[in-house]
Amino acid sequence: MFRIGGDLEVGRLGFGAMHLAVDPGPGRENSLAVARRAVELGVTLIDTAYMYGMGGNEELLAEALHPYPDGVLVTTKVGVARSGASSEWKLDARPAALREQVEQALRRLRVERIELLQLHRLDPRTPLADQIGTLRDLRAEGKIGRIGLSEVTVEELGRAREIVDIASVQNRYNLLDREHEPVLEACEAAGIAFLPWRTVAWGKSGARAEIAAVAAEADATPTQVALAWLLGHSPVLLPIPGTSRIAHLEENLAAERLHLTGAQRLRLDGLSDRDGGDALRGGGEQS
């Protein structure tokens, strides 16, 4: 278990809802079943965002889970929007835009307060003090419980923490891509939850001989090895692997019971691609 912000207790292995289909039809029915199965299996941390289906993912989770069971945290993200002319996603963390996005998220999730709200990206066109200050004000108004950031540097995290307490960081991070190790170290020092996305390197884990070898030794899958490595790498890591299949969901969650030996961890510690890449994404991915 981990206490986000020092008081909000969640299980360390969560669920990223990004891949859940939201359009009417069999795909949506399957998505509802996956979300409900995640909670049945003990997941208490579920990650979504306005960007996932322009709010449709939030509405899907509310349909599947509301009224939310005790202890279940649905965290969402704001700070991106569709541009009117091209319909492309753009960063938009102006104070008025953030306020409107939070109000809409409250409505879609059917809650009066979002216990953990994360800024999907810092908006370079808006002063950081205005972005973080607006979230601080919304927290003071009772619409946000805790504030998180996504895809930030150590320096940006430090500047934000001068304005308000930061409860979580959601950066790309996995066994093969540790570009943000310095950010993880900063989070660990401060007790800040680190929610890695792209947790299994988009399926590349199984292609690495060392990972495949460890998986064979442990009678596990490469995905489970990658997730178990994350859980043991730092106590503040809260992986949020995502999937649209119940079988994958069950495979992912079984990683919490996988014990890697010290020798196996040492072999895995030496692996890293630093493969970069920063699309406007978030949430955990499943191969």
Q: Return the amino acid letter for 238.
A: L
Q: Which of 50, 52, 68, 173 is catalytic?
A: 52
3-state secondary structure of 169: strand
Q: Are 195 and 161 in contact (CB under 8 A)?
A: no
8-10 vs 15-16, strand pairing mode? unpaired
Annotated catalytic residue 52: yes
Distance of CA 193 to CAs 8, 75, 200, Å? 11, 13, 19
Q: Are 46 and 74 in contact (CB under 8 A)?
A: yes
What is the rounded CA–CA span in Å between residue 34 and residue 241? 13
- CB neighbour class for 41 (10 Å; exposed up to 12, middle 13-18, buried from 19): middle
Catalytic residue numbers, as ranges:
52
